[in-house]
C-alpha cells in the first residue's frame, strides 16, 4: 500500500510554531489572525513567546516580516502539520 506523504506547497496552509525571545501580549493574535500566543520562562530564564497558527505561505511571510520589523530575532520556525488537499 502506497503511503502518501504530505508536502508543503504554496497553495495550502500549514500549521507553524514560531518562537521569539521576550513576551508578546495577546493583542498580537488580532494582528496575526488565527494565531495563538503563549509566553513561558524556563528555569527562571528570560521569557520566550510561541506563536502557533495555521497560515498559508503569504501570511507566514507577513508575520515573519512583522517580527523582523520589531527587531525580534527568531529562535525557531517549525512546520508542525501540513494542510490537506482540497477535495
- Residue at 45 is within a domain: no
Is 25 a member of any domain?
A: yes
* Residue 34 placed within a domain: yes
Q: Please give the pLDDT value at position 74.
A: 96
Tell if the pTM clears 0.85, that is, is over it. no
Judge whether 31 lies within some domain: yes
Residue 30 lies in a domain: yes
Within-domain flag for 76? no
Task: Give a yes or no: residue 20 inside a domain.
Answer: yes
Residue 86 burial by Cβ neighbours in a 10 Å radius (0-12, 13-18, 19+): exposed
Domain count, the chain: 1
33 domain residue, yes or no: yes
Quote the domain boundaries for residue 33. Answer: 15-40
Residue 22 is classified by DSSP as: S
Q: Per-block average pLDDT, block size 10, for the chain (87 residues)?
A: 61 92 76 78 89 91 91 94 64
Amino acid at each position: 500500500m502506497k503511503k502518501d506523504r504530505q508536502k508543503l506547497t504554496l497553495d495550502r496552509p500549514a500549521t507553524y510554531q514560531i518562537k521569539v525571545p521576550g513576551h508578546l501580549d495577546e493583542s498580537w493574535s488580532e494582528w496575526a489572525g488565527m494565531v495563538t500566543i503563549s509566553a513561558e520562562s524556563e528555569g527562571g530564564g528570560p521569557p520566550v513567546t510561541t506563536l502557533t497558527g495555521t497560515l498559508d505561505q503569504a501570511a507566514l511571510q507577513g508575520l515573519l516580516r512583522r517580527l523582523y520589523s520589531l527587531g525580534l530575532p527568531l529562535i525557531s520556525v517549525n512546520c508542525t502539520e501540513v494542510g490537506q488537499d482540497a477535495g
